[in-house]
Chains A and B, each alone.
Chain A
Amino acid sequence: MQNLIEQYRQTVNAAVRDQSRLRIAGSGSKSFYGRATQGETLDVTAYRGIISYEPTELVITARAGTPLVEIEAALAERRQMLAFEPPHFGSGATLGGCIASGLSGPRRAYAGAVRDYVLGVRMMDGKGCVLNFGGQVMKNVAGYDVSRLLAGSLGTLGLLLDVSLKVLPVPAAEVTLRFEMNESDAITAMNRWAAQPLSLSATCYCDGVLTVRLSGASAAVRAVREKLGGESVENAAEFWRMVGEQQHEFFQTATPLWRLSVPPSTPMIAGKQLIEWGGALRWLVSDESAESLRALVAALGGQATLFRSAQAHDAPFHPLSPALLQVHRRLKNSFDPHGIFNVGRMYSEF
């Protein structure tokens, strides 16, 4: 593996020398997300494998090219899991892509996001230097929290090499319940239930049905189930997988798919939607213009991302304020002074 790192370093050095750009690539499962980026492909799938996994320490460290399925299988063997339930969007999805995209799945509102579980990273910056941030321990406030900053940075700050993640035990019991109700009542229910100790671990509203997952100790799940009522869902794991992987029929469309992130108690928004994360994530299928959607969502205190669309869009992500954009540019310059990694993948400006 040291040879591979040496190869990556040479590629980076050559790009610096030639003033060319690199496009970091794993399996390509999330290449639809964000802006297209130019440059020579730096394929990192060969840099793979679990480096260490200690169930009693609740920590796994793996190379960025490791397929997520391999990590999840190793964890499942010890009845542990990635609590943020990352979407794969393809059978080859890698750990590096999972961290770089920063996308989390159905459990996000209740267990936290990718970045909440990142404990440490080893990375290569835009000068070819290998740097270590964070570590393999739960609590670490030495220096700035660069490892969490890298989650969701879409490879624009550097090349991820090794990542350490906190893992959690698989809940002792899980049950999924469905309730027929209208959208407005569902939003209220998701918020009111989240304010009570009910062991919620996922929520989804679509087409007049609110689906809710409870996770925890067997006795607790049993008690909450009796309290809430509803109808038990068979084959629930498959249901949540279909939602997380966007294989649910809601997502089968050629119309642009918008990801509206709003405060969870935001009232109903017009349009065809699937709601997740207790009301905080509204998937919207719509042909409306980016400007009008963004104005609407910004007024609600949220952001709108064009998640999937048949036609490339120049600004899929919600625009940054001028002050924030300036900080982003400077940070990009700190990590990647020659501007070689995934330039323009997130915003056209850096």
Chain B
Amino acid sequence: MNKPDLIKQLQTILPADAVLFAQEDLKPFECDGLSAYRQVPMLVVLPETEAQVRDILLLCRREHVPVVARGAGTGLSGGALPLVDGVLLSLAKFKRIVSLDPLARIARVQPGVRNAAISEAAAAHGLYYAPDPSSQIACTIGGNVAENSGGVHCLKYGLTVHNVLKLRAYTMDGEMLELGSESLDAAGYDLLALFNGSEGMLGVIVEVTVKLLPKPELARVVMAAFASVAQAGAAVGEIIAAGIIPAGLEMMDKLSIHAAEDFVHAGYPLDAEAMLLCESDGTPEEVSEEIAKMEVILKRCGTTSLRTSANEADRLRLWAGRKAAFPAVGRISPDYYCMDGTIPRRELGRVLHRIAELSQEYGLRVANVFHAGDGNLHPLILYDANQPGEFHRAEEIGGKILELCVEVGGTITGEHGVGIEKINQMCAQFQEGELQLFRAVKQAFDPSGLLNPGKVIPTAHRCAEFGKQHVHHGQVAFPELPRF
């Protein structure tokens, strides 16, 4: 079917203003949060009912047109990168909180509801939705499920997968699936777990039921400075060995401390090589007991300065620097490239040392922000896109860092997803056997392979090519997206 015919067909399903095809209307959808990769889609559709979603999928399935679903477009791995010959299905109009049951502590929401809006709606009942990715004021719950988003509190409260009870989704074949349940068991395989983090490749999510938790009465944070990254890392291990699971446990290195301090003036220690933020939440009794224990451990581990938030305003100020770390780094460099590897925490010293060596070797600065409690490292590679070759060098050093994470027993992505960005590193993380099984899982839900094709799971051919690229890398920055 040619494009004008497809538009005509879509206009029978959707109101005229919900089918976008003019170049200037398509342009805003050309990328997600990973703006280095851009592709204007063939068409954009903006359905607002489940029946419309189903009919769009059925039409595209029949006409063999690939579909990419998109939430708020804040993803950092290009998971919502459109296809030149594909339809981009935006869930932006699905922004209703369907119901909120304070007694059963659940909220049923449409996928386009912002993460923070759920907690705002639940606040009146003393409840909140726990996962808090730093983009939470903009990112939407459908995208959170697709990426299995984390946040700074997930060591204690879990990832998205731990906080979602039920999903309604449509497969590419237009079949509605209900996964999970409002009770705590569901019959059959745990397809709910499989859908979390599936990056829009198995189905289009149209409703999400989340678990709400009682809001802790109090939270306080301790900021501790260290003369070395290794010492700060050891202190994290000691806190956990003491039987404490802090609500948040974050580390920043010198470059990110300076960038954040210049930006928000949080009162960070500028002479420190590394800094920890350790948060405790719960009842006032629980918090004072835990904070006291952590202070003792941090002192024993050789902290050079220690500050505990005196009140809520103080606590928020201490967090402001950490939460603004990415934009802060954006102020000291024309561009930056954010990586997302996870490592066993004990390997931190070795990994940071190697990152420093790579930084020297490539002549690019790297700032490190670390969800220290769960081993999720965000190296921010500083570069200038206007300098020829710098983006390619940034991509290369990023790839090396991810392969390093795999080498020490970790993973290429902790919370941002594979998308299109890390598809080559999937060849380093997995063998062909696992990749084959991933392809088979995709086929079980989407036999036609038309839903978000070319993301996450590399083809065998691509991995073979990637093997060769290790020898002469840097030449393929925008490879075409293979179909499978």
Contact = CB atoms under 8 A, between A and B. Distances in A.
Given A145-B194, A170-B243, A262 B282 contact: no
Contact of B185 (A132, A172, A261): A261
A140 B196 CA distance: 11
Interface in B31-48: none
Contacts of A273: none
Nearest to B288: A219
A125 B438 CA distance: 13
A10 interface: no
A194 B215 CA distance: 11
Contacts of B363: none
B197 interface: yes
Given A135-B410, A136-B409, A281-B184, A327 B191 contact: yes
A102 B158 CA distance: 19
Interface stretch (A23-31, A67-75, A112-120): A112-120
A130 B437 CA distance: 11
A185 B91 CA distance: 42
B429 interface: yes
B344 A137 contact: yes
5 contacts: A56-B240, A138-B155, A145-B193, A303-B185, A321-B177
Interface of B: 101-106, 125-127, 147-148, 150, 154-155, 158-159, 161-162, 171, 175-178, 181-191, 193-194, 196-198, 214-217, 237-238, 240-241, 243-245, 282-283, 285-286, 288-290, 342-346, 371, 373-376, 409-418, 422, 426, 429-431, 433-435, 437-438, 440-445, 447, 456-457
Q: What 8 A-B pairs are tightest by C-beta distance, nearest first? A: A334-B440, A219-B285, A220-B286, A169-B243, A148-B193, A330-B444, A138-B374, A139-B414
Contacts of B445: 327, 330
A320 B413 contact: no
Given A55-B241, A170-B243, A261-B181, A140 B215 contact: no
A141 B413 contact: yes
A261 B426 CA distance: 38
A139 B101 contact: no
A54 interface: yes
Given A112-B162, A216-B286, A146 B441 contact: yes
B444 A331 contact: yes
B279 to A, nearest CB: 15
Nearest to B238: A56
B215 A197 contact: yes
Interface residues on A, range: 35 or more
A243 B288 CA distance: 34
B285 A303 contact: no
Interface string A277-312: 100110000000000000000000111010000000
Interface string A210-238: 00000011111011100000000000000
Contact of B148 (A113, A141, A280, A331): A141
Contacts of A133: 434
Contacts of A195: 102-103, 105, 125-127, 214
A192 B289 contact: no
A265 B215 CA distance: 19
A263 B344 contact: no
Contacts of B245: 168-169
B198 A144 contact: yes
A79 interface: yes
A112 B157 CA distance: 10
A264 B106 CA distance: 10
A39 interface: no
Contacts of A152: 189-190
A224 B286 CA distance: 11
Given A116-B161, A223-B283, A323-B176, 11 more contacts: A55-B240, A59-B344, A113-B184, A143-B456, A144-B438, A169-B240, A194-B105, A199-B283, A281-B184, A301-B183, A330-B447
A191 interface: yes
A88 interface: no
Contacts of A328: 188-189
